[in-house]
Chain A
């Protein structure tokens, strides 16, 4: 279905926001498959906590755009049950922080049922949630815990970073026979751009090279990709050519793309909005060292969130998060 057949929020300038792109993906999924329904806190009358599902209740009705009580465990578990019965539920949780109330259902049931049942029961469920900081929402609305979920066998973990990915990620996620977790960075919803009509699907098995470069590989995902690109732009002005790899899928990791990039550039910086200790960045650095140690011209650098619950005050919040300046500084260190 072409997005161009739909009315746009910005008809004059042909731009789309990340939020609208996600909504268009949801609308397409609901329209094309009767098994799909959306369920979560305030997805219906409210229009979604972040406005993603605005208008879908009116279009598809309360059975298929279903408001739930504030019962994360029950409605995520109900999504799992409905998926077991052959439906294709899309469940929205307000933030990754709240998903911890459903962690038992996600880990002990969604991720595990296929194996425990000897392959009899798959759980084709999509769970969407926001992640990340940058909006002064303080600790209980700002954490980046997608790396925890990326630890769990049986799940696919996605972090769309671009408008094209936001537009097409859902149909790919719904095609997956297993539970897929979709992490939408809260600071991206208002990001605007033009959809590329040539892109009609996303390959969830592949990381994407967002900028080509020869001197250093910057590996990032989700809300940090734009920061990495900003840093690359700054570095370009200094004659340093940075390649930016967007992981796109956090589990399973596409080693071939980021290790392949490091083999060409011989240097790497890994950006992760999660905390450094036990993080996804540690896993990526480790895989680079395991697979391309003798290709490296410098130790791998990591840029992560400070080891602190994310604070409210703007100056402190900014200091806690990976920023373009910090990414550029790390890149300078590895190329020097």
Chain B
């Protein structure tokens, strides 16, 4: 019974979850003409390398530039996000004050309330940051704050206060206490936030669409989308593009699989 159910489940999951991805890979290996048939079949003529080169070099290396932009966007946003959210989560958990009540309210608001897009465009424009990568980085940090603060706060509650006291008695400044004692202890949550937010920001479409228009600064998701609307019949290149931009999140997942699960669950279920 155990075996029958297990094998049935595996078979169903392969059809529902694996076959679509095999389909992507197969299409990415085909010539343009053959890919347009959308058949689930082994390519008659392998064109994997040709497709790869064509996707990257097309339109003046726009995909390569987009990869660079997306990498800068992701690394910068996530780095700053981790530090800023960890600081808030830490003080929020450790120190009761009126500010904490206000901060609590804003964290919940940040989780629930949909951002007002056009007024945000207006704010970015008045700061001269509209359509720039730094502008989008600040936006991504802001929108990631609420969730990250929650995770950090939940984790700080598991670090004993006696540790802080020992460090203070040893003469550590608040700054050192946080960065040299607490931050290293928070590594599990830091990793979780890094992985979850990197995948999120790297895969983000709506924010770059609104706040980073134009080809110069396009992110990978924007180029993929624009590519789709421009060339409806080049399924081989489209799927090669999807394949290419799924690699970074996939690598993240393979390396940090266990940690994501542990961190997500401790934050999401108990927090």
- Is chain B a partner of chain A in the same complex? no
